[in-house]
């Protein structure tokens, strides 16, 4: 899949998440010196240690207090390799994940488990709260879910299902007149990235695009200093396109009469037919003012 940036130059982003460049998976150690990954031979020497035990042990060995050295490409922390999709999905259903982590901070990609967003900053969570309020104001109480939820969709080997968690998902109320979608159908997914980089969200996007009832995927990334913002809107029309435009702006130079708005058709968000009657209090579109989002986050930063 290619992304078209503001300059309309296509940039390849369909790259697998990569481990840090200078280390081997079987010898990589945490920043406190604890071993994070274990080779197949090491695992077999543990008397048949199960994959779930090995994954949990790897999480226990993570140093989450010393930030790793990062660059523009290597921001994800590789936790473990050779983790089957079955093991990952069992892990994703745990009531409490190890080390206080949440599923939306983690991804599974081709047998590797990564921490891709750590820590959850106030700015990251403020941005999610802003998105939640935009949908709540526009669509009132017509969603059965207006926050975070685990989502299972096709992406694994042989078309099997993988469980992931976005920062925000919208599930329309199945009792809304005209809604013909299943009860758990997700129509909108939003991912907010702060410490996470663009390439590390691609495995989640790959699954989201295959959800049968999903209409929109909105991706937003803020720089560490909160000055540079980039975003994409992926829309099903009638299918998700292989190329989208990645917009960007800087908060200190963006004009007041900007055009950084994201428009989502309210009928599609609510699971209605294109000619269906909207509830009287609902506008025709859910509109996200991305510059206002950035300014909101800046106002409460620190």
**CATH (domain of 209):** 3.90.1570
77, β-bridge pairs = 115
With respect to residue 228, please indicate whether it lies within any of the assigned structural domains.
yes
The pLDDT of residue 73 is 52
DSSP per residue, the chain: -EEEETT--EEE--------TT--TTT-B-TTS-B----HHHHHTTTS--HHHHHHHHHHT---SSPPP--SS--PEEEESS--HHHHHHHHT-SS-GGG--GGGEEEETTEEEE-S-S--HHHHHHHHHHHHHHHHHHTT-EEE-S---EEEE-SGGG-EEEE--SEEEEE-TTSTT--S-TT---EEEEEESSS-GGGGHHHHHHHTT-TT--EEEEEEE-TTS-EEEEEEEEBSSSB-SEEEEEEEETTT--TT---EEEEEHHHHTT--TTSPPPTT--SEEEEEHHHHHHHHHHT--
Q: How confident is the model at residue 74 (pLDDT cuts 50, 70, 90)?
A: low
With respect to residue 7, please indicate whether it lies within any of the assigned structural domains.
no
Judge if 266 and 210 occupy the same domain.
Answer: yes
With respect to residue 269, please indicate whether it lies within any of the assigned structural domains.
yes
Judge if 111 and 126 occupy the same domain.
Answer: no
Q: How confident is the model at residue 30 (pLDDT cuts 50, 70, 90)?
A: very low
Q: How confident is the model at residue 206 (pLDDT cuts 50, 70, 90)?
A: very high
Find out whether 231 and 220 touch, Cβ atoms under 8 Å: yes
Judge if 103 and 183 occupy the same domain.
Answer: no
Judge if 132 and 254 occupy the same domain.
Answer: yes
Distance CA 169, CA 134 (A): 13
Q: How confident is the model at residue 2 (pLDDT cuts 50, 70, 90)?
A: very low
With respect to residue 263, please indicate whether it lies within any of the assigned structural domains.
yes
Judge if 199 and 243 occupy the same domain.
Answer: yes
Judge if 284 and 147 occupy the same domain.
Answer: yes
Judge if 149 and 274 occupy the same domain.
Answer: yes
Find out whether 282 and 265 touch, Cβ atoms under 8 Å: no
With respect to residue 126, please indicate whether it lies within any of the assigned structural domains.
yes
- The domain in which residue 83 lies consists of 21-67+77-115
Residue bearing the bigger pLDDT, 110 or 15: 110
Closest C-alpha among 126, 65, 76, 54 to residue 99: 65
Distance CA 209, CA 27 (A): 35
Distance CA 258, CA 238 (A): 28
With respect to residue 188, please indicate whether it lies within any of the assigned structural domains.
yes
With respect to residue 86, please indicate whether it lies within any of the assigned structural domains.
yes
How many domains, the chain? 2
Judge if 106 and 137 occupy the same domain.
Answer: no
The CA–CA distances, whole Å, from 152 to 49, 131, 259 equal 27, 22, 34
The pLDDT of residue 18 is 46
Mean pLDDT score, 252-273? 96
Judge if 269 and 242 occupy the same domain.
Answer: yes
With respect to residue 12, please indicate whether it lies within any of the assigned structural domains.
no
Judge if 149 and 252 occupy the same domain.
Answer: yes
Lowest mean pLDDT among 39-53, 181-195, 254-268: 39-53
Token duo for residue 29: 């150690």
Distance CA 186, CA 218 (A): 13
Judge if 190 and 57 occupy the same domain.
Answer: no
Judge if 211 and 233 occupy the same domain.
Answer: yes
């Amino acid at each position: 899949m290619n992304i078209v940036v503001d300059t309309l130059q296509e940039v390849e982003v369909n790259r697998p998440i990569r481990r840090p460049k200078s280390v081997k998976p079987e010898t990589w150690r945490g920043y406190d010196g604890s071993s994070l990954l274990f080779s197949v031979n090491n695992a077999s020497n543990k008397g048949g240690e199960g994959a779930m035990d090995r994954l949990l042990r790897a999480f226990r060995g993570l140093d989450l207090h010393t930030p790793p050295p990062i660059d523009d490409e290597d921001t994800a922390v590789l936790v473990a390799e050779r983790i089957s999709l079955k093991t990952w999905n069992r892990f994703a259903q745990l009531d409490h994940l190890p080390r206080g982590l949440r599923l939306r901070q983690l991804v599974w990609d081709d047998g590797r488990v990564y921490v891709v967003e750590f820590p959850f900053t106030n700015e990251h969570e403020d941005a999610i709260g802003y998105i939640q309020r935009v949908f709540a104001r526009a669509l009132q109480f017509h969603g059965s879910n207006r926050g975070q939820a685990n989502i299972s969709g096709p992406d694994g080997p042989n078309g099997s299902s993988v469980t992931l968690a976005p920062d925000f998902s919208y599930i329309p109320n199945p009792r809304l007149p005209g809604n013909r979608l299943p009860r758990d159908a997700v129509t909108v997914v939003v991912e907010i990235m702060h410490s996470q980089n663009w390439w590390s969200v691609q495995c989640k996007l790959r699954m989201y695009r295959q959800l049968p009832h999903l209409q929109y995927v909105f991706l937003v990334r803020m720089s560490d200093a909160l000055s540079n913002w980039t975003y994409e809107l992926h829309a099903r029309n009638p299918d998700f396109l292989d190329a989208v435009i990645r917009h960007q702006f800087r908060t200190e130079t963006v004009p007041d009469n900007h055009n950084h708005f994201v428009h989502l058709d309210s009928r599609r968000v609510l699971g209605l037919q294109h000619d269906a009657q909207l509830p009287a209090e609902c506008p025709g579109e859910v509109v996200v003012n991305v510059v206002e989002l950035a300014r909101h986050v800046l106002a409460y930063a620190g």
